[in-house]
Structure 1
């Protein structure tokens, strides 16, 4: 395939999937009062969740097949045209300029997404799940992965795009389109509540995060989660303003989509229920909380029932003491839930964590500082921009007179209190809400001071400010593209050569894949990021039934190590250079482990029968 062909494939896939998603979202919005008052971003967010839910139903009947996916896309595109001809998808005129601004900011991330996938979590489990779904034409449990099952709305969407286009580079288009939808939803909401200038600034604050661009170019799920969480909050605000119960039902649906994407969505749903109980008008609180909870639960139920049927625990591996199975402390030690041996212990740990944040709120500020300026604290991940952190005090200054700002800041703070500061990417829903609050704070500040307000009202000044604010995000993507080298590889051989250079030990997996015969079962030590590239089964994750720790007791004993590997039906063993002296020692070494491949990074052995 030529570079032009790859670009056209990406563009075509993006457009053809966006059309039915928009049609689905508009169908959900048609029942509410004045559907034309809502621009396409909210319709896209709701339609994306609805598409994932419908794919779950189709996958239950083996419907993840190319012909069925393409037929569905065609039908959705026809529906889009029919709805568009009635004018109900026409955005406000001011929306077009914001769309072009956000689109231009995300073009580098789109180009970045043309490269073969190398992002860690994407190749460890997100894409392996999607590949397994595509190969089986249905949603399956994958016991060899670090986590065998999750809420997987986003991975189901990844699989559908991969099935339709026949390549994996299209999977990140789900995240990319969600990043664009968040930016435009921020513009729509801030423009309605404050001004178009505030809307443009809110979009810029979101797109200023280098982490957003990294995620938009990768098959992660955190931007999709942020899209659904923000949509739920925006629908809730419309219900609070207008009183229409349809808006609250849509808020519950969006919260359900967030729950179906990641367990952190449960927290956003709970926070919205709590907000309804505390902030809604009297006489509507309990009814509102019940409606929101019921709709969210109904939307998310199929995904959690699937997890329950596979593991006996609807939130596997959390709350294992209540449902049985592996403990959270064993399956997810990075959460620090050592007290999870009992249900009361987990509750006590959560309450203690919240209490620590309340007593030392400076810890949240320290996290924001590290996420922006100390990438070493998070294994050199893409950073968050500092602007929302700097504007949060401005929003807090006016929270006493604008209850919306107070609600948003409290939601962000409450979300951050529940272990979500472990990783910057967990904070992307909060970052979107902080962008909205920051833009609202600047609008209040401009109205308060005359000179600043006059400058703020100049259209050119607002655009210059937005360009300056947004710059770190696109520039980071351009920098990363430069490091990858141009142009992106387009043919299979060039793709493999690229991955050999960029992914440690990929050359050994490539050698294994190219060997004749059946796909081998490969056990790798310390290289989980190779999972997606292996032709056969890949074992040796940090966690799970075939974890790397199973061979630790047999270090230095080749015969015992050989028996353990063969008990897992392992055909090949991959170890980093330097591990051989500790893993493989003894006179029986060459008889039990035949060298196949070696380079400066790793060694590959065949495990004898």
Structure 2
């Protein structure tokens, strides 16, 4: 039961990190829910930066020292914070109790599912969120991975994944993302305590949130820090408390360390906070906000400075027209943008107005095709569900006065940015906590009929999410716990080919992956081969397949893996023809063919 041990270790680190963060916030006047949420968020961020420090120094043995500090600091924090956690959790009502009950079931199920090794649907986990931390571990510390442009993204969560992999594998790593889902629920409930259980259920019962809670993705961490930052800004300006504004700056700074898209939230929250403060004639607040915004930039800055040193571009590979970037080109930037535009239902103004309805009723264009086939229909997991569409009615019924409108302006600004940048549902997750928190306050003001009807919608959605997760994953859990390889063979299309290479390829023989990026399970050196990923392979100088073979030999690449399931139809590009010609001429010899995956090795005579 190694996976269950990993879950237990991950939970232990989360518990101690939360105590550490609560200790640092001991002088803040926080409710118990807020203390846990902000303390956990701050503690996990501190652990992540500690891991990054030792990884950058190439001294992974120092992680043992970090754990000692976390244990001591965590126990200290829990000891001094224990009294402040007594009483005042949420208002008691049967709706709240029911909401917490269903939320607890979702949390329990997703925690159990953390025991599953990442399957083929967890594409980003296998392609980079777990893959490059594993490469760091093999290299003994943080190294540049130029063939994987996602390895340059801000890695607050990925550093926690590195710690989990180092300590006890994927299950331990996944628990950290599960934990941020829990902490976000606590933060939402702390913002709207009278309806905290129902609003926690809106968050956790959203299918895409529940699905991500058991994966090694990072979107929920951006939601945690963005949501807590927005809530702190609201409290700060409304109560005219500079302490809350500083806390908002810290949270938004941590958000900047999770994803580039948090830059939009940083700008929007800054502008909204300044406008609100000036309208309230609170000059000190406006000045503090400017300083808190600088603090946020300082917290996120190390990752952007690292990218500048490595690639000349702080937001690599984006903004190529402004900064340029090594191993990248204008053609690749345009291809990347084209790939982003394939999601959604157009960029016309009417599509923006219809987006709440389309996200609910027509989710397929906004989501990856992951779900449970029932009969002839596939029920998708990465969707927004129906809860947020229903929440619009709650805003109308309960009103959004008292400063809540400023938070909705922030959410609307993010929606517009999402609409024009990339209409992928998971990129909208960071505004869900804000929409949920505002909905909780508005729900308190709404009539009983609205509250009961809305509660019924959320319970129905939560039950549907529980069923969908169970139908998709739970039936294979016993197999995963008993026979990891058998589970992965069933759930990962390329796994038999990966096993073949792990068993038959010499330890130092490199593998080029074509039309495939999920290299996490591969125990050999590998390189993404498609021309759109980087410029390490000089395809533009290769006019004959012999030039490609010569380059492979010189750089230690002996195998080529091609996933034909994702090979585009039609006339192949020039770089792709090099491989096809090498195969046709016998320069690359087939050694494994199964499930649409082909593995070739260099000919001895080539």
Q: Do the structures match in fold with TM over 0.5?
A: yes
Residues 301, 367 of structure 1: CA spacing in aligned structure 2 closer, same or farther, 3 A cutoff?
A: same
C-alpha displacement of 1:18: 1.5
Residues 76, 373 of structure 1: CA spacing in aligned structure 2 closer, same or farther, 3 A cutoff?
A: farther
Residue from 209, 213, 237 that aligns with 1:212: 209
- Are 2:559 and 1:572 equivalent residues in the alignment? yes
Q: What's the counterpart of residue 408 of structure 1?
A: 407
* TM-superposition CA deviations, 1:222-274 (whole Å, max 9, x none): 00110010110111122123222111111001000000110011111111101
- Are 2:161 and 1:141 equivalent residues in the alignment? no
Secondary structure class of the residue paired with 1:32: coil
* TM-superposition CA deviations, 1:335-365 (whole Å, max 9, x none): 3599xxxxxxxxxxxxxxxxx97x8254253
Work out whether residues 595 and 606 of structure 1, in 8 Å CA contact, stay in contact via their aligned partners in 2.
yes
Q: What's the counterpart of residue 486 of structure 1?
A: 477
Q: How does 1:573-588 map to 2 (within 5 A)?
A: 573-576=560-563
C-alpha displacement of 1:402: 0.8
C-alpha displacement of 1:590: 6.6
Q: TM-score under structure 2 normalisation? A: 0.84
Q: How does 1:187-586 map to 2 (within 5 A)?
A: 187-191=189-193, 195=194, 198-280=195-277, 281-282=280-281, 283-284=283-284, 286-325=286-325, 326=328, 330-331=332-333, 333-336=335-338, 360=349, 362-366=351-355, 368-370=357-359, 373-381=362-370, 382-396=382-396, 399=399, 402-418=401-417, 419-446=420-447, 452=449, 466-482=458-474, 485-490=476-481, 494-515=483-504, 517-541=506-530, 543-545=532-534, 550=539, 558-566=545-553, 568-576=555-563
C-alpha displacement of 1:35: 7.4
Work out whether residues 240 and 285 of structure 2, in 8 Å CA contact, stay in contact via their aligned partners in 1.
no
Q: TM-score under structure 1 normalisation? A: 0.83
**Where does the alignment leave 5 or more consecutive residues of structure 2 unmatched?**
341-345, 371-381
Q: What's the counterpart of residue 129 of structure 1?
A: 132
Deviates more, 1:575-584 or 1:374-383: 575-584
Work out whether residues 511 and 524 of structure 2, in 8 Å CA contact, stay in contact via their aligned partners in 1.
no
Work out whether residues 229 and 254 of structure 1, in 8 Å CA contact, stay in contact via their aligned partners in 2.
yes
C-alpha displacement of 1:389: 1.7
Equivalences, count:
567
Secondary structure class of the residue paired with 1:524: strand
Secondary structure class of the residue paired with 2:197: helix
C-alpha displacement of 1:117: 0.7
Distance 2:148 2:396 in 1: 44
Work out whether residues 59 and 138 of structure 1, in 8 Å CA contact, stay in contact via their aligned partners in 2.
yes
Work out whether residues 100 and 201 of structure 2, in 8 Å CA contact, stay in contact via their aligned partners in 1.
no
Secondary structure class of the residue paired with 2:437: helix
Distance 1:330 1:18 in 2: 39
Secondary structure class of the residue paired with 1:605: strand
* TM-superposition CA deviations, 1:449-499 (whole Å, max 9, x none): xx638x75xxxx9976653342232222112114x62314246xx322322
Q: How well do the aligned residues superpose, as a CA RMSD in angstroms?
A: 3.4
